[in-house]
Amino acid sequence: MIRQLINWRTALSVVAVAIVIGTVFYSKFLAKKIGEEERNKVNVWVQSLKTQGVTTESATLDLTNSITSNNKDIPIIETDEHDNPSGAVLNLDSSLMKSDSGYLRKKVHQFKNQHEPITIEVSPHTFNKYYYGNTVLLEQVRYYPLVQIFIVALFIFVTLYAISAKNKSTQNQVWAGMAKETAHQLGTPISSLQGWIEMLKDSETNPLISTEMGKDIDRLKLISDRFGKIGSAPKLEEKNIVEQIENMVTYIKRRSTEKVSFSIVSADKVVMANISAPLFDWVIENLLKNALDSMEGKGSIAVKIRNAQNEVVVDVKDSGKGISKQNLPNVFKPGFTTKKRGWGLGLSLSKRIIEQYHKGQLFVRSSEIGKGTTFRIVLNK
């Protein structure tokens, strides 16, 4: 159980989370250190101003000017006790101060939300406040974790997408290889059976036997042809969708009970679309068989064809047992089936045929337990 949970995806996620958490805490630590140093610098500057106000010594004045000139990053505003800008201003945009009379007040309000001011008493009832803001370096350090999280998330997404694409490509190759091998393996016995049928025709046996066997051979040839087209770019030809569906409904109808009713609804007798006829017939056959299985021998199947301006829409609706909500996301996954017998490949293969080879869509339009399911095919004209 533990080995199943601990795989490469889990390990990748744990490493990514550890990197992000470590980065966040270290960035906070750096931001705190930088913030303390900046406050000390502001405090030193304020104290130098206080000293400058009570002395005229040139050395002290030079020290104050030196401290001021060295502060090229920290924006500072001097205010009175009522937060009105009243004195020195450092590292702020002088052009905005001239053009916007409320610029300094806005900055005071902004700095007030960032740091507690440093207060210097000028007289027993008068004092000045020195508000300061964050430097560019401090802002960068604080926002760095967000950048790091984005980079890590992007890395994980790209990695998972690449692996998923590779796995999907491998899976497609396996599908195509199995299909072509099946078609190849069917070729030899089909050719042999065709020879035996010719011999039966020449003999005095009942001709009905050779006729019926010929139909089964044609069916096997069709199946072989379908499998042979999997994995190769099929040749799409303009076909009448109504006629194709009518032929498949007739075929399935012969193999169902009389308790199942079939209907085809189409406003137009001719609805043209570019399809690979053998593969499209395979999709319709899979949907009809799936509908029959869901009804367990009785009910109704309705195929509705709609000829829109840019697309052809085909709905296959049955009155079967329906699909539960928890199973809907798994309907087209290879190997998923609710039948006692079956490989769970029919719907998955049908979706591949419509979406990969015909560039269309196949999805469950609606389903309700006890009332039935509607599958929809959308073909672009």
d(CA 367, CA 325): 8
Confidence class for position 1, pLDDT limits 50, 70, 90: very low
Question: What would the two tokens of residue 302 be?
Answer: 């309705």
Q: Is the pLDDT of residue 34 over 80?
A: yes
Which residues make Cβ contacts (< 8 Å) with residue 328, sequence separation at least 6? 364, 367
Q: What is the average per-residue pLDDT within 242-249? A: 94
Q: Is the pLDDT of residue 297 over 90?
A: no
pLDDT digits (tens, 9 = 90+) for 127-167: 888 888 888 788 888 787 788 778 878 887 888 788 777 77
CB 261 within 8 A of CB 329: no
Most confident of 127-131, 212-216, 225-229, 351-355: 351-355
Q: What is the average per-residue pLDDT within 58-87? A: 69
Q: Is the pLDDT of residue 6 over 70?
A: no
Q: Is the pLDDT of residue 307 over 90?
A: yes
Q: Is the pLDDT of residue 172 over 80?
A: no
Per-residue confidence (pLDDT) for residue 339, from 0 to 100: 64
N-terminal to C-terminal alpha carbon distance within the chain: 50
Per-residue confidence (pLDDT) for residue 8, from 0 to 100: 67
- Angle at alpha carbon of residue 270, lines to 264 and 272, rounded to 5°: 110
Q: Is the pLDDT of residue 3 over 60?
A: no
Most confident of 168-172, 197-201, 227-231, 262-266: 262-266
Cβ atoms < 10 Å from Cβ of 272: 14
Q: Quick one: three-class SS letters along 71-101?
A: CCCCCEEEECCCCCEEEEEECCCHHHHHHCC
Q: Is the pLDDT of residue 238 over 90?
A: yes
Q: What is the average per-residue pLDDT within 208-233? A: 73
Average pLDDT, the chain: 80
Q: What is the average per-residue pLDDT within 229-238? A: 77
250 vs 172, more confident: 250
Residue 83 backbone class (left: φ over 0; alpha: ψ -120 to 50; beta: rest): left
Per-residue confidence (pLDDT) for residue 81, from 0 to 100: 82
CB 19 within 8 A of CB 152: yes
Confidence class for position 241, pLDDT limits 50, 70, 90: very high
Q: Is the pLDDT of residue 329 over 60?
A: yes
Q: Is the pLDDT of residue 221 over 90?
A: no
Most confident of 97-101, 116-120, 285-289, 312-316: 312-316
Per-residue confidence (pLDDT) for residue 56, from 0 to 100: 52
pLDDT digits (tens, 9 = 90+) for 50-66: 665 555 555 544 545 55
Q: Is the pLDDT of residue 283 over 90?
A: yes
